Amino acid sequence: MTSDESYVRRAIDLAESAVESGNTPFGSLLVVDDEIVRTAENTTLTDDDIAAHPEFKLASWAATELEPADRVACTMYTSTEPCPMCASAIVYAGLDRVVYSVSVDSLADVRPDGVIEIPCAEVIDRADGATTVEGPMLEDEGLAVHENYF
Ligand SMILES: [Zn+2]
C-alpha cells in the first residue's frame, strides 16, 4: 500500500468513527511532511451545524494554525470528495493537495439527497486555486461506509 492509500484508509476509519458518534459518514485528515497534523470527523448532526464538515473544519484550522510554508506543503486526505463549500475553504487556506476516496458522483448514487454534484476540482479550477485534486482512491472501501449508512 502507498502512503497515500494508508492515509485515505485512515480518513475512511474517521468516517466510520463519525457514524459511531451519531453523525454522517465523513472523515478527513491533514498531512505535512508525512506526519498527521490534524484529524476531523463530520459533526453536522451532533453540533446542529451545516458547516461542520471535516474538510471545512480542517481548512479553517490550517488557515489559522499552520504557517504559509506548511499550508503549501499540506495534503488533505478525505473519505469523500469535498463539497463546493469545503473546496472553497481549501482554496482560501491554500492547501497543496486533496486526495479523496469516494467521488461525488458515486456518493450521489447511494445517498438519497443533499449531494451537490459539482466536482471539487471544478470549483478549485474556477476559483483559480493552486490545489491539486486526486481521486477516487480505494473507492470501494470508502463507498461501503456510505452504503451501510444511507
Ligand atoms: Zn463539505
Tens digit of each residue's pLDDT (9 = 90 or more) over 34-70: 999 999 999 999 999 999 999 999 999 999 999 999 9
Closest to 122 in 3D by CA, of 76, 81, 63: 81
**Could you give the residue numbers annotated as active site?**
55
pTM for this entry: 0.97
Cα(22)–Cα(20) distance, integer angstroms: 6
User: Residue 112: pLDDT above 90?
Assistant: no
- Per-residue confidence band for 1, with pLDDT thresholds at 50, 70 and 90: confident
pLDDT for position 150: 85
What is the distance in A from the centroid of ligand 1 to the CA of 44? 10
User: Residue 79: pLDDT above 90?
Assistant: yes
Q: What angle do CA 37, 73, 4 make, to 5 degrees?
A: 70
- Residue indicated by cell numbers 453540533: 47
Percent of the chain scoring above 90 in pLDDT: 95
What is the distance in A from the centroid of ligand 1 to the CA of 86? 4
Residue 114 vs residues 97, 102, 107, 111, 118: alpha-carbon distances, Å: 25, 16, 10, 8, 12
The whole-number average pLDDT for the span 4-28 is 98
Closest to 6 in 3D by CA, of 42, 37, 40, 36: 36
Helix ranges, the chain (H) = 3-20, 54-65, 68-71, 84-93, 104-110, 120-126, 139-149
Q: Give the CATH number for residue 78.
A: 3.40.140.10
Q: Which domain holds residue 96?
A: 4-149
What is the distance in A from the centroid of ligand 1 to the CA of 69? 24
The count of domains in the chain is: 1
